[in-house]
A and B are shown apart, each in its own frame.
Chain A
Amino acid sequence: MTPYSSFLFFIILGILLLPTMILGILGKRLRYYNVFVSIAILAIIFSEGNAGFFSLVAFTILQVLLVKGYITYRQTKNSSLVFYVISFLSILPLILSKVLPTLAVDNWASFLGISYLTFRAVQIIIETRDGLIKEQISIYQLVNFMLFYPTISSGPIDRFRRFQRDEEKHWTPEEYKELLYKGINKIFLGFLYKFIIGYTINSYFIMNLDHIADGKFTYHLFYMYSYSLYLFFDFAGYTAFAVGVSYMMGIRSPENFNKPFISRNIKDFWNRWHMSLSFWFRDYVFMRFVFLMKKKKWVQNKMMVSNLGYILLFLLMGVWHGLAIQYIIYGAYHALMMAGFNFFESWNKKHKRWPTGRTMTIVSIVITFHVVCFGFYLFSGRLFQ
């Protein structure tokens, strides 16, 4: 069963979470009962044939071995080669799951949530390399973090040390009531976004575009805006469910959206859209790349370094969505927009040509909105059909 996709799922979840809520309100530790809930929900999600239960198990065992092995290794040694090999092995199942479909063979490597689980495992390996994770992590802690069911299928991507702080916290009844209140609020917001607004846009507008639009151009234009809005409400709705249920479990999973359609520029947009993913790429790809370039002094020009970083980041993000032409073009498009904005920003810092003030802020928001919608239009693949 796909998480949060049917009312049956919510009913089962509600029944299973009832004791969690009662225990929480009484100020009891949630851990033991929550392990049972997690196993039950994971069984429901992965019991369907195509969700890839055996791949999930094999994947989890591989990641546990890699993470635990690397932490032990790192306690005494720190070779870059070992770090790169371990990281590569950790990403390998994800690479396979992307490459296999293009070879027209059975995609045995894939399972629901593989890319999000990979991000969590790689993040632990990188933080171990940086010396932030020193102590060995128990199998329970690791599996509990990686397979945290509320966010298993599509994130948000949490960070191990942050997750662990919440996990180890003993919530007082007052604190838990606050979490519960916020969680329920988020879940209702999710219903509004995903099942009311998103559903309406899709089934009453996008599905009927043939009748609504009077020509090819208007068809694609309407599609661009409605698809962008649908994408936001559908994904923000899912995220609200995932974060809301996390809160009820006593874990404050990070948010994914912060009013993305009022972004003032493309850089601002990437601080507001699918944040847990873009921050992951920022921290673990972009910043590390820039750091390496600067330290080794391979590329001197500042503008060049940051633009190469953007190209790397957004092409990777594009390919991560899938090895299809629309995702690669989507990545290249955002790399181009970021590099273009980078030039503009540094030019404007010198010349101060772009006026400030309320009107210009609105103009910036409108321009960014259209740039972003065109990006989603590319992403949708409608252009390449």
Chain B
Amino acid sequence: MDFKEKVLQIIAEVCEDDVVKEEHELDIFDAGLIDSFATVELLVQFEEQLDINVPITEFDRDTWNTPNAIVDRLNELK
């Protein structure tokens, strides 16, 4: 599994919805798929599964809003 697939898998698990694997430009906050609680879960999973540490304050809803954007941000932090 490549990096992008791995990230999408984590997002899908946290959102409890596979739609994020198909629609990479979907705004997961606007779509109501994720809230602040699930956001934290996402960050914990990134740390545990990908070994990438994303501080809570780094996770800005305007720039981490779609599956594609999240993959890009994680690539920057890798």
Contact = CB atoms under 8 A, between A and B. Distances in A.
A132 interface: yes
A294 B36 CA distance: 14
Contacts of B16: 349
Given A126-B57, A130-B57, A291 B43 contact: yes
A127 B55 CA distance: 9
B57 to A, nearest CB: 5
A287 interface: yes
B25 interface: no
A338 B8 CA distance: 29
B56 A130 contact: yes
Contact of A294 (B40, B57, B58): B40
Contacts of A286: 36
Interface in A117-174: 126-127, 130-132
A27 B47 CA distance: 46
A295 B56 contact: no
Given A291-B44, A294-B41, A282 B57 contact: no
Contacts, number: 39
Contact of B58 (A130, A290, A306, A349): A130
8 contacts: A130-B56, A132-B55, A282-B36, A283-B57, A294-B40, A294-B44, A295-B47, A349-B16
Interface of B: 16, 35-37, 39-41, 43-44, 47, 55-58
Contact of A288 (B41, B47, B56): B56
Interface residues of A, number: 21
Contacts of B44: 291, 294-295
A287 B55 contact: no
Interface in A262-315: 267, 282-284, 286-288, 290-291, 294-295, 302, 305-306, 309
Contact of B37 (A126, A130, A132, A306): A306
A306 B39 CA distance: 12
A347 to B, nearest CB: 14
Contact of A290 (B40, B47, B55, B57): B40
